[in-house]
Structure 1
Amino acid sequence: MSAIPAFPQPASPLGPVLLRAGLGAMWISHALLKVLVFTLPGAAKFFDSVGLPGILVHPVVAAELLGGVAILAGFYGRQVSLLLMPILAVAAWVHWPNGWVFTSANGGWEYPMFLLVMSAVHWLVGDGAYAARRSPLLVPA
């Protein structure tokens, strides 16, 4: 039986930091968009209009905001990215009928799909340098 190959380390520990910063900022801005622009009642109406219970807007906004801060700080960021991925999967599913361009009416699916993939990348490569509380990679070294 052959050994599992070593998980390659990034060329620079700053690459994952930039990924983490971008993802964290995105999650925070996505939550604040629902609070400051659409308002929670408006976002709840949108959730209802696409077949999701409007009450879900509250835990979704909380998860996005707190998750974004945790990712940005590198506080178990990998696990947070993994836990937030279902939100992006649902967002991609909701926007699927609108086409692939997010500037389409009601938004397209490519933006949440891209962020879903970047969250998976973050989970796989780790938090990088300057993380507040790092956890080990799940892939053997």
Structure 2
Amino acid sequence: MTQYRIDLAALVLRIALGAMYLAHGLTKLLVFTPAGTAGYFESLGFPGIIGYLTIIFEIGGGLLLLLGVFSQLIALLAVIQMVVISYIHSPNGWSFGNAGGGWEYPAFMALTALALLLLGGGRFSIMKLFRS
């Protein structure tokens, strides 16, 4: 019973994190556009290519999390990404509603991804089907 609950918790966490990543990636793709996203990253001092890679990671990683494919690897990359974003947003204060966005949301996402990294994808994942 305990393992079932752990696997169910991993599923809920994977779906929540995957949906958030997919939504953010699609927003960058469809609303801000790839060129706009790249321009924003350049305004922060990053190469524009990072914007394009972020779109690919957020959409692709979100889909992989929803399916339960490479969940721990995606979660590890998400932790790294969200820690960096938390640092970038830290001058704006805690609340993400602040001008420029604070660091509360990316910090929460980093911790959510860390929890999934520690839990693993669970039995309700496509990867588990191929390992059984």
The answer to whether structure 1 residue 26 and structure 2 residue 20 are counterparts is: yes
What fraction of aligned residue pairs are identical, expressed as a percent? 37
Larger Cα-atom Rg: 1
Of residues 126-135 and 113-122 in structure 1, the stretch that sits farther from structure 2 once superposed is 126-135
Q: Counterparts of 1:40 and 1:106 in 2: how far apart (Å)?
A: 20
Q: Counterparts of 1:82 and 1:51 in 2: how far apart (Å)?
A: 24
Report deviation, 1:86: 1.8
The answer to whether structure 1 residue 14 and structure 2 residue 8 are counterparts is: yes
Of residues 14-23 and 51-60 in structure 1, the stretch that sits farther from structure 2 once superposed is 51-60
Q: Counterparts of 2:123 and 2:99 in 1: how far apart (Å)?
A: 39
Which structure has more helix as a fraction of its residues? 2
1:110-134, CA deviations, whole angstroms, 9 ceiling, x for partnerless residues?
1011101110100101112320004
2:76 matched residue in structure 1: 82
The answer to whether structure 1 residue 109 and structure 2 residue 95 are counterparts is: no
Report deviation, 1:10: 7.0
1:39 to 33, 53, 75: 33
2:92 matched residue in structure 1: 98
Q: Give unpaired runs (5+ residues) of structure 2.
A: none
Change (3 A) 1:92 1:133: same
Q: Segments of 4+ in structure 1 off by > 2 A? A: 8-13
Report deviation, 1:95: 0.9
Q: SS of 2:122's equivalent?
A: coil
1:3 matched residue in structure 2: none
Q: Is the 8 A contact 2:92 2:100 kept in 1?
A: yes
Report deviation, 1:9: 4.8
2:122 matched residue in structure 1: 128
**What is the TM-score of this pair, normalised by structure 2?**
0.88
RMSD value, Cα? 2.0
1:67-117, CA deviations, whole angstroms, 9 ceiling, x for partnerless residues?
111111001212211123222122111111111111111111110111011
1:44-69, CA deviations, whole angstroms, 9 ceiling, x for partnerless residues?
12111211112211111111111111
Q: SS of 2:97's equivalent?
A: coil
